[in-house]
Structure 1
Amino acid sequence: MSRDYVAVNRELWDKDAPNWVEMGERAWAMETPEWGTWNNPDDGLHLLPDDMSGMDAIELGCGTGYVAGWMARRGARVTAIDVSAAQLATARDLAAQHGADITFVEGNAEETGLPDQSFDFAISEYGAAIWCTPDLWLREAWRLLRPGGRLTFLGNHPISLITSPEDGMPNDRTLHRPYKGMWGADWTTVAYEPSGICFNLTVADWMALFTRIGFEVRGYHELYAPDWAEGERAAIPAAWAKEFPVEQVWILEKT
């Protein structure tokens, strides 16, 4: 990837920020977390510890900040970083409305500038998990975590990428891209719902990267659309997403 994906993605999210305010308002108001494109319930996923009292936690690529808000509600001291000033403006407004004491930082999750071993827990729901280079942001997360600290992240499943047509049209049952050597995709010039530059790896390459950095896998989940789902979200048809995994969740521990 030769393009300046950080600048491309920052511009994307600054422009698109107004379209995410309503969704952010709904998520901040949730009593219990829901995850991903199809609002999967937290039952059995445990992306967040039930009790975060006394924990230092960071959200990497926070967008409108609702995950940071959920962590603050569970008792954590929360820092949240995002590359988009416009998204952070929404996050700060919503935090103020909900009385959440969160430290928001404008910056790149690949290079936060925050001190080593400052956090017990880190999370990314999309955010850094798809918009940052895996090798860079995962190494930064490892640096930020204390020994024994955990990182949870949710992003696109590799199957959702290889079954996505190159023009960005909704997923189907055809393999449109090679799995071997997967790095991600540039969605900036596609005909259907153009966006930014995202990253993904094969499952084997994710596992190898975790080992090189010093993470151990403590959990893995594949997320599908629930039975009630209809229509299409983020170019993913509900019928497709009930049979193929839309997203994956990795739960890692710093060793």
Structure 2
Amino acid sequence: MPLESTTLPEYWDTYKPYRGEGEQPTPDVETFAWTQYDGHGPGEEFLGSPRTALELGCAEGKEAVYLARTGVEVTAVDFSAVQIARARRWWDGTPGLAFVEAEACGYLTTTETTFDAIFSIWGALWFTDPDDLIPLIAKRLNPGGVLAFSQAEPIEGYYGPQPMYGNGLAGRKLTLLRWSYPPQWWADLLKRTGFVDIEARVLPAPNPEDVGTLMVRASAPNKVLPADVR
């Protein structure tokens, strides 16, 4: 029987950066981080030099804010109304920045906007079936546009959709799926979808014994994708 995620937006309502009670101060936005280790890995240059960008699974929106402050026009999407409300409360008035409450595939299916870059930092690219999501991303990238994402490195030999209880082992069942694949699998999928200049690798942690970060980047071709891809 195929696995099916039953995760509701409420799982993401309590996701980073603060899980405690009460309102917390607005965090500083000084860096653009792809990995789980402070000061480790590339920064915003991993995206190239986009004029417009879409983030899928923005949570509190720090990276979206960082890009907007450099002059990029950014749309940041998240499934959780709580995350979006908090992001708007913190960053309202930031020029060139818009937060949208939506599921990633739903947004990409309905929007007519195209982007120079689409990115996900431990976000929708980890928690959405890539066979559904990657073709939709391809349709919304401008020619030459960049797709970039990061997530935890896969556990060797254990690939595909992986279920877990999203709220731990107590309380109501919230089934969460994460899609975990090795770099070559991602490279093959992106190539089949029409992407070029594909880079997919695991960036080791500062301590080689710790969990590394899967880093993937690819470009849309500098011409319109053929009809069978789009």
TM-score, normalised with respect to structure 1: 0.72
Distance 1:204 1:127 in 2: 20
SS state at 2:136 partner: helix
Aligned 8 A contact 2:34 2:42 in 1: no
Cα 1:43–1:107 shift into 2, 3 Å: closer
Spell out the pairing of 1:1-255 with structure 2 (5 A cutoff). Answer: 1-3=2-4, 5=5, 7-16=6-15, 18-19=18-19, 25-26=26-27, 29-43=28-42, 46-49=45-48, 51-52=49-50, 55-96=51-92, 99-112=94-107, 113-115=110-112, 118-159=114-155, 162=156, 178-179=157-158, 182-188=159-165, 191=169, 196-226=176-206, 242-243=208-209, 245-255=211-221
Identity %: 27
C-alpha displacement of 1:30? 3.1
Gaps of 5+ in 1: 163-177, 228-241
Cα 1:59–1:16 shift into 2, 3 Å: closer
Cα 1:32–1:45 shift into 2, 3 Å: closer
Distance 1:105 1:34 in 2: 21
C-alpha displacement of 1:71? 1.3
Cα 1:36–1:87 shift into 2, 3 Å: same
C-alpha displacement of 1:14? 2.0
Aligned length in residues: 212
Distance 1:115 1:85 in 2: 22
C-alpha displacement of 1:204? 3.0
Aligned 8 A contact 2:69 2:94 in 1: no
Considering only aligned residues, what root-mean-square deviation do their CA atoms show, in Å? 3.0
C-alpha displacement of 1:114? 1.0
TM-score, normalised with respect to structure 2: 0.79
Counterpart amino acid of residue 86 in structure 2: T
Choose between structure 1 and 2: higher helix proportion.
1
C-alpha displacement of 1:156? 1.8
Aligned 8 A contact 1:79 1:104 in 2: yes
C-alpha distance after superposition, 1:155-210 (max 9, x if no partner)? 12113xx4xxxxxxxxxxxxxxx44xx21311117659x98321112333212211
Q: Which residue is 2:225 aligned to?
A: none
